C-alpha cells in the first residue's frame, strides 16, 4: 500500500481516534463511578462496544501505516527492512489479538 490509500488511512484513522478520544474523555468526566462494573456496563451498550472496536482497528491501522512508512523511508538494507516490518506486523497483530481477548473478557 502506498500513495493515496496509505495517506487516506492515516488521516481518516487520526480523525476517528481524535473524535473517539474526545467522546471517551467526556464519558469518563461524566461517569458516576470508575469501577470495573461501571465500565463493563458501559461496554455492554452496543454503540460503545462498536466505537471502541473501531478505535482499536483505527489505532492498529494508523500504527501500521506510520511505522511502515518510517521503516521504508529510513531502513535501507532490504533484509533488515523485511525483518523489522515483520516484527512490526507481528507486534501489531499480537496487540490486536490481546486487545480483542481482553475486551471480550470485560464484556
pTM over 0.85: yes
Give pLDDT, residue 79.
Answer: 97
Q: Mean pLDDT over residues 8-26, rounded?
A: 96
Q: Are 17 and 62 in contact (CB under 8 A)?
A: yes
Q: Mean pLDDT over residues 81-97, rounded?
A: 98
**pLDDT for residue 14 is more than 70:** yes
Give pLDDT, residue 3.
Answer: 85
Q: Who contacts 95 (Cβ-Cβ below 8 Å, separation ≥6)?
A: 60
User: What share of the chain in percent tops pLDDT 90?
Assistant: 70
Give pLDDT, residue 2.
Answer: 67
Q: Are 64 and 89 in contact (CB under 8 A)?
A: yes
Q: Mean pLDDT over residues 61-81, rounded?
A: 97
**pLDDT for residue 105 is more than 90:** no
Residue with cell 467522546: 23
Q: Are 61 and 14 in contact (CB under 8 A)?
A: no
Q: Mean pLDDT over residues 37-47, rounded?
A: 85
Q: Who contacts 60 (Cβ-Cβ below 8 Å, separation ≥6)?
A: 92, 95, 96
Amino acid at each position: 500500500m502506498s500513495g493515496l490509500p496509505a495517506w487516506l488511512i492515516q488521516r481518516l484513522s487520526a480523525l476517528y481516534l481524535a473524535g473517539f478520544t474526545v467522546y471517551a474523555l467526556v464519558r469518563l468526566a461524566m461517569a458516576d463511578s470508575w469501577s470495573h462494573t461501571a465500565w463493563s456496563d458501559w461496554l455492554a451498550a452496543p454503540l460503545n462496544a462498536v466505537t471502541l472496536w473501531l478505535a482499536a482497528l483505527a489505532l492498529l491501522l494508523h500504527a501500521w501505516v506510520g511505522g511502515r512508512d518510517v521503516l521504508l523511508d529510513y531502513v535501507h538494507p532490504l533484509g533488515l527492512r523485511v525483518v523489522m516490518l515483520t516484527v512490526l506486523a507481528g507486534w501489531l497483530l499480537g496487540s490486536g489479538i490481546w486487545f480483542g481477548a481482553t475486551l471480550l473478557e470485560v464484556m
